[in-house]
Amino acid sequence: MDPLSHWLALMPVSGRVETRCHFGAPWRIAPGPAGQLEIPFHVLLTGSAVLEMRGRPPQTLQPGDVVLLPHGDAHSLHDGSGRRTSPAVERPSAVLSVAENGGRGAEADILCGRFLLSAHAAPMARQFLPASLVVRSAPAAAQALAQLIELMRLEAQEEGPGSGAIIGHLCGALFSLALRRASQDTDDAPTLLALTHRRALQPALMAMFTEPHKPWTLPALAALCHMSRATLIRQFETATGHSPAELLLQIRMARAMQRLLQSERSVAAIADEVGYQSEAAFQRAFKRHLGVTPARFRADHTAGAAGAAGS
């Protein structure tokens, strides 16, 4: 497996498309902040749009563009005209709600939904992904992403038997393909995505993902990459904005949370599995990282999952 595959394995997502927006200009949608385990997304099927977020310059979107908001921040999409908009009217359908505003200007067709993160994936997603990602599917290099978007459009439009479930599964693939496409865009702000394509750092990155239980030190990781400790730190921080030690901690904690939720192994066994020499040291690190003990994390999220299943 390559580094991006290892990262995606630590961040499994499901998803749903909630609304299909058929708008004529002028139009605007302005979702508020999302839940802690949610990543809102928008897929522009036809027309054009402008994405606005506080503290960031507006971005113009073209058909096939995918917008991800990994931090769940409030944002707005609009037609760019600046004219007063009419309220949209939503009507339910078999698969999702359809929103229309009756505008007579240039038309736009947008799928709006959210990716749903598992509890162990959320901290890594929020620390190592930017507040927003605009992923372009138009270039030939993004053919697979463009084909997936077309399939989502057809399922949303035709609403055949099983379309709701099919679209949900397609959302997981959309997340993976969007991150792969974003990792190939070197113009984005520093993230773990940029690190996955730095060949010189691949040995250290793979070591942390595949063997987090080992007592890695900065000199040992630097030796794997045939570079000095200072060079390793500089290249990691340039690519991600974080040090190798911070990434290793995130990987260990994500793996630990995954094991707590998906196995019945003891806390002591999981501590050993993710590289801690004692259960006490693991307990302290886990509580600093998440604010709760491993046992409390397991109990809270196991109870939450059971409640969701029974509702």
CA–CA dist 195, 205 (Å, integer)? 8
Task: Render pLDDT for 267-289 as a digit per residue (tens, 0 to 9).
Answer: 999 999 999 999 999 999 999 99
How far apart, in Å, do the first and last CA atoms of the chain sit?
A: 37
Sheet with 49-52, side-by-side order of all strands? 28-29, 76-78, 49-52, 59-61
**Per this entry, what is the length of the chain?**
311
Residues above pLDDT 90, as percent of the chain: 58
Tell the CATH topology of 198-310: Arc Repressor Mutant, subunit A (1.10.10)
Instruction: Please tell me if the domain spanning 3-186 has the same topology as the one spanning 198-310.
Output: no
Integer angstrom CA distances of residue 190 from 60, 150, 173, 218, 258: 21, 30, 23, 21, 26
Q: State mean pLDDT over 236-241.
A: 86
Domains of the chain by residue range: 3-186, 198-310
Query: pLDDT tens digits for 83-123?
Result: 999 889 998 877 788 999 988 999 999 999 999 988 888 88
pTM for the model stands at 0.86
Indicate the average pLDDT of the chain.
Answer: 89
Fold of 3-186: Jelly Rolls (2.60.120)
Rounded to whole angstroms, the Cα distance separating 37 from 27 reads 28
Q: What is the pLDDT of residues 131-153, one digit of tens each?
A: 899 998 777 657 888 889 889 88
More confident residue, 188 or 161: 161
Task: Give backbone dihedrals phi and psi of 169, rounded to 5 degrees, phi first.
Answer: -65, -40
Residue 311 has pLDDT above 50, yes or no: no
